[in-house]
Amino acid sequence: MGLKDCEYLAPSNLSEALDLKARLGADAVWLAGGTDLMPRARNKLVSPKAVISLKNLVQELSGVEDDGAELKIGALTSLEEAGAHQAVRDRLPGLVQALKSIGAPTLQQRVGTMGGNLCADTRCLYYNQSAFWRSGVAPCFKLGGEVCHPGGATADRCRSICQADGAIMLAALDARVSLAAGSGERELGLEEFFTGRGEEPLAMGPDELLINVKVPTPKGQGSAYCKLAARKAIDYPLISAAAAVSIDADGVVAKASLALGGVFAAPLMLKDATQAMKGQKCGPKELEKVARKAGSHAQPFFIENQSAPAEWRAEMAPVVAKRALSEALAGAKGQI
């Protein structure tokens, strides 16, 4: 195990945990379910001096609260518990789909958490490899080096990608995260939380802990998540689309948002494409146009850093976008 030489700490409450992190900073990492962290540690992609387990904070930081306008989901809520909550099932069907697509039921039920999914690292075929495999190539930008293997000679940054299904759906749902530190709390929209930089994908300080995510649930909203992966389980998205569409009583679109996953270091928000839906009663033709525009916007982001060719992923982008938008719109119609 890559963590065998590091100190294991298990604070008994939130304030103790924040004190520890304030003291240790970037030398320590949080451990929730460990399903993203442990494989990286085993591959020596992360070698902290200490691990701070969140296991004693589960009571404090898990569960779903509903104030009618939004749902607050605690960071340590398991993926299964979040997806099974009645209010989530009734008002955020796209999130249920996204959470059910993560790994496998055992991972969702026992270990994987909402906070861990939001904070999961970006991924790349040249990065998520054993130390032995990587010893054959020069260190890339994400490892502090000066190359990007699939990026070619002109590459100047890391283009690893966000493949966290829950986070991609939450971005389309306009969610906000609460970050706590010894000095207080702050709230960030996901567009700010995800930096879009593969080297450092999260705008989170070394002393901060994500404590919850707040998801608005406006009336008349439908949502959907569509993921393409090599297998139906235990597979990250090669390309995915998350859509949320709200309509008014006449069926006119009041708000639409679309995020693509498996493309960019953050969920790729496609505001220009969905803008055209506002004020329209969208049918299949309009949705096809929006999906195509989304696909062409995403086109330049694809590089050969996944197990499926970039060309295929780019071709599939408008396909998943249209499926997610159509399903979200149909869901919205069912709400009024």
29 near ligand FAD, judged by CB under 6 A = yes
> What b/e string do you get for 199-218 counting C-beta neighbours within 10 Å, with b at 16 or more?
eebbebeebbbbbbbbbbbb
CB-nearest residue to ligand FAD:
116
31 near ligand FAD, judged by CB under 6 A = yes
Q: Helix, strand, or coil here: 153?
A: coil
Contacts with ligand SF4, 294-323, as mask; x by CB under 6 A: -----------x------------------
Name which of 163 and 306 has its Cβ closer to ligand FAD: 163
CB of 273 to ligand SF4, least distance (A): 25
- 103 phi and psi angles, rounded to 5 deg: 55, -110
**Cβ contact 162:260 at 8 Å:** no
79 near ligand SF4, judged by CB under 6 A = no
Which two three-digit tokens encode residue 71?
């749902």
Which residue in 36, 81, 174, 327 binds ligand FAD (CB under 6 A)? 36
Contacts with ligand FAD, 84-123, as mask; x by CB under 6 A: ------------------xx---x---xxx-xxx-xx---
Residues 191 and 99: their CA atoms lie apart, in Å, by 20
**Cβ contact 245:255 at 8 Å:** yes
Residue 82 is given by DSSP the state H
> How many helices (H) and strands (E) are present in the chain, helices listed first?
13, 12
124 binding partner (options ligand SF4, ligand FAD, none; Cβ < 5 to 8 Å by kind): ligand SF4
Contacts with ligand SF4, 175-214, as mask; x by CB under 6 A: -----------------------x----------------
Q: Where are the alpha helices (DSSP H) in 25-179?
A: 37-42, 79-84, 86-91, 93-100, 105-106, 114-118, 131-134, 165-172
CB of 130 to ligand SF4, least distance (A): 15
- 244 phi and psi angles, rounded to 5 deg: -135, 125
37 near ligand FAD, judged by CB under 6 A = yes
**CB neighbours of residue 36 within 10 Å:** 19
149 binding partner (options ligand FAD, ligand SF4, none; Cβ < 5 to 8 Å by kind): ligand SF4
Which two three-digit tokens encode residue 309?
């060719």
63 near ligand FAD, judged by CB under 6 A = no
140 binding partner (options ligand SF4, ligand FAD, none; Cβ < 5 to 8 Å by kind): ligand SF4
Q: Helix, strand, or coil here: 221?
A: strand
Name which of 195 and 280 has its Cβ closer to ligand FAD: 195
Q: Which of 63, 60, 98, 59 is nearest to 78 (CA)?
A: 63
CB of 76 to ligand FAD, least distance (A): 7
Q: Which positions from 189 through 218 interact with ligand FAD, judged by CB under 6 A?
A: 209-210
Q: Which positions from 119 through 178 interact with ligand SF4, judged by CB under 6 A?
A: 124, 126-127, 140-142, 148-151, 158-160
Name which of 126 and 225 has its Cβ closer to ligand FAD: 225
Q: Which of 209, 329, 190 is nearest to 264 (CA)?
A: 190
Q: Which of 39, 316, 305 is nearest to 198 (CA)?
A: 305
**Sites of contact with ligand FAD (CB under 6 A):** 29-37, 39, 75, 79, 102-103, 107, 111-113, 115-117, 119-120, 163-165, 209-210, 234-236
Q: Give the residues lining the site for ligand SF4 (CB under 6 A).
A: 124, 126-127, 140-142, 148-151, 158-160, 198, 305
